[in-house]
Structure 1
Amino acid sequence: MQKSQRLIQLIMRINAKQSFTVKELADEFGISTRTITRDLLELSELGVPVYSIQGRGGGYKLLQKRILPPISFTESEAVAMFFACQTMDYFSSLPFGDGADSAVHKFYHYLPADVREQIDRLKDRIMFWSPYRSMSAEILQTLLQAVMTNSVVTIAYKSSSGVSERNIQPIGLYASSGYWYCPAYCFEREDIRQFRADRILSASLNGTIPAREDVSQKTLLDKPQKDDQERTALELELTNKGVWMLESNPRFGPYIKHYEDGGGTVTVPIAAEDLKFYVDLIWQWGDDVKIIGPAAAAAYIRQKIEAMRLLYLR
């Protein structure tokens, strides 16, 4: 076996082990302990984080951050991987620490010069924009770690009723409109709830509470859909411009009924508790989107209009 092949296999072998001795590796590869010792020294000089354990029963271990063996990519795969990482550039915080930036730097550095030139020409010409939302990267990392290790997290959560302490078992993390969301089982409410990461003031792993096995089997596809809550129908009347603005909106677009003159109507089934959220969303479209029903929605928007009128009469 060539030395380069042996070193790659050695990286793969020690990545799969918690600890190992030189003799164990020498026996597995059928070479001398002196050769294995030289190989480990060479891997260490290349950046593989191997360290020795002193004393009786000693040997070698990898530091917590393991090194993956080399992987070959085609040019199109390399470009796709680079821009997949670029999709995260416009988030204010990510649950990966410095790992994403470090990976992209390594990946880009070792690309062939002509491929780097192609990517450079695409920089600032392809963007995956996301609204900037301020939140804690440390909290996101704690939530991600809890998902990976199937752990419970104690959080301080700020809601409309104030700050409360919760013990939650995260199901996953997802991003929408720049915000990070964490569906999780809440031990206080004894139900799955959705938590917005920017409203979590602190988060720490809690090893005193065992994780529930049934929750650990869930995925983001099992996040709360509010299908079992009280429902209502939000009815809207749209001008031509209103139709144009809402056609591409996934909350309203599928429900638009078009008039011949270019206007239209929308009837959207929603959870009753989300009514104010939808009215606040509609507020931005002014007189191009008129609320027809329910009465509670029309009453709420009249309150907003009156409050705004009084504000500017002062």
Structure 2
Amino acid sequence: MAKSSRLIQMIMWINAKRSFTAQEMADEFGLSVRTVTRDLQELSALGVPVYSVQGRGGGYKLLRERVLPPISFSESEATALFFAAQSLEFFGSHPFGEVTGAALQKFYHYLPADKKEQIDRLKGRVMFWSPYRPMSPDILQTLLQAVMGGVVVTIDYNSASGVSKRDIQPVGLYASDGYWYCPAYCFVREEVRQFRADRMLSAAPNEAVRPREEVRRKTVLGKPSKAHLEQAGLRVELTKKGVWLLESNPRFAPFIRRREDGGGIANVRIAAEDLFFYADLVWGLGSEAKITEPPEAVAYIGRKLEAMRALYG
């Protein structure tokens, strides 16, 4: 076996073993202990995080961060991955720490000169814009690790009712409008709830709470159902421009019925606890939308109008 192929095989074997002796590796590859020791020194120089353990029962161990064997990418694939990783730089924080910058540098460094020139010409011309939302990258990393490990996390959560301590089992993470959201099973509410990462003041793994296996099988693709909660019907009259503005909102778009003049009506069935949240979305449309039902939502908008009149005189 060629030395380069042997080193790649060794990387894969080390990743699978995590801890081993030089003799075990020599037996696996049919080499002398001396040759194995020399190869391990070379792998270490190449960046494979292997370290020796001294004393009785010693050998070699792999640091927590394993190294993948070389992967071949086409130029187009490398460019696509470069810009996919670059898109994270537009978030105020993300759960991947500084490794995305290192990955970007690797992709860029090994590209041919003409491909680098093409990417340089695209810089500042292709971007994945996201509003800046300050939040803790450490908390995001804790949540990501919990998703991968299927473990429970204890958080201090700042909601409208104040700060409370919760044990949650994260289902996943997703970003929307610059915010990171974490659907998670809440052991206090005994159901899957939606948490905003920027409202978490702290997050730490809690091995004392046993995770639920059915939660591990969930994904962020399925929103928690609120059909079992009290429901309310929201009716909104829309101008032609109001239809145009609201039809891009997935919460309303399926329920809009157009009139011949271009305007329309949206009848949305929602959980009663979300009524004011939806009313605030309609409020943002100004005079292009009018809530006509239910009375609680109409009164809520009226109070907002009075507050605005008092503010501006």
**TM bin (shorter chain):** over 0.9
RMSD over equivalenced CA pairs, Å: 1.5
Deviation at 1:93, TM superposition (A): 0.9
**2:231 equivalent in structure 1:** 231
**1:310 equivalent in structure 2:** 310
**Does residue 1:217 correspond to 2:220, yes or no?**
no
Amino acid at match of 1:39: D
Deviation at 1:223, TM superposition (A): 4.1
Deviation at 1:84, TM superposition (A): 1.7
CA deviations 1:234-254 (Å, max 9, x no partner) are 211122221221222222223
CA distance in 1, matches of 2:298, 2:186: 34
* Partners of 1:155 and 1:200 within 8 A in 2: yes
CA deviations 1:111-141 (Å, max 9, x no partner) are 2222222222222222222222111111111
Deviation at 1:275, TM superposition (A): 1.0
Amino acid at match of 1:195: F
CA distance in 2, matches of 1:56, 1:223: 53
* Partners of 1:159 and 1:199 within 8 A in 2: yes
**2:204 equivalent in structure 1:** 204
**1:254 equivalent in structure 2:** 254
Deviation at 1:262, TM superposition (A): 2.2
Which deviates more from structure 2 when the two are superposed, residues 219-228 or residues 164-173? 219-228
**Does residue 1:56 correspond to 2:51, yes or no?**
no
* Partners of 2:86 and 2:100 within 8 A in 1: no
* Gap regions ≥5 residues in structure 1: none
Amino acid at match of 1:131: P
**2:263 equivalent in structure 1:** 263
Amino acid at match of 2:196: R
**2:141 equivalent in structure 1:** 141
| Matched positions, count | 313
**2:117 equivalent in structure 1:** 117
3-state secondary structure, aligned to 1:132: coil
Deviation at 1:26, TM superposition (A): 1.4
**1:171 equivalent in structure 2:** 171
Deviation at 1:288, TM superposition (A): 1.0
3-state secondary structure, aligned to 2:56: coil
State the TM-score, normalizing by the size of structure 1: 0.95
Amino acid at match of 2:23: K
Structure 1 runs of 4+ with >4 Å offset:
none
**1:192 equivalent in structure 2:** 192
Q: How does 1:280-295 map to 2 (within 5 A)?
A: 280-295=280-295
Percentage identity across aligned positions? 66
Deviation at 1:143, TM superposition (A): 1.1
Deviation at 1:210, TM superposition (A): 2.0
CA distance in 1, matches of 2:209, 2:254: 44
CA deviations 1:50-84 (Å, max 9, x no partner) are 11010012111111111111000112211221122
**1:300 equivalent in structure 2:** 300
Amino acid at match of 2:22: V
**1:183 equivalent in structure 2:** 183
**1:156 equivalent in structure 2:** 156
CA distance in 2, matches of 1:163, 1:258: 44
* Partners of 1:174 and 1:181 within 8 A in 2: yes
3-state secondary structure, aligned to 2:88: coil
Deviation at 1:197, TM superposition (A): 0.9
CA distance in 2, matches of 1:137, 1:84: 19
CA distance in 1, matches of 2:224, 2:183: 8
**1:85 equivalent in structure 2:** 85
* Partners of 1:152 and 1:169 within 8 A in 2: yes
* Gap regions ≥5 residues in structure 2: none
Deviation at 1:304, TM superposition (A): 0.4
Amino acid at match of 2:216: S
Which deviates more from structure 2 when the two are superposed, residues 12-21 or residues 213-222? 213-222
Deviation at 1:307, TM superposition (A): 0.9
**Does residue 1:6 correspond to 2:14, yes or no?**
no
* Partners of 1:192 and 1:223 within 8 A in 2: no
Which deviates more from structure 2 when the two are superposed, residues 43-52 or residues 189-198? 189-198
CA distance in 2, matches of 1:240, 1:217: 43
State the TM-score, normalizing by the size of structure 2: 0.95
CA distance in 2, matches of 1:234, 1:23: 72
Amino acid at match of 1:312: Y
CA distance in 2, matches of 1:187, 1:261: 50
* Partners of 1:152 and 1:206 within 8 A in 2: yes
CA distance in 2, matches of 1:292, 1:116: 57
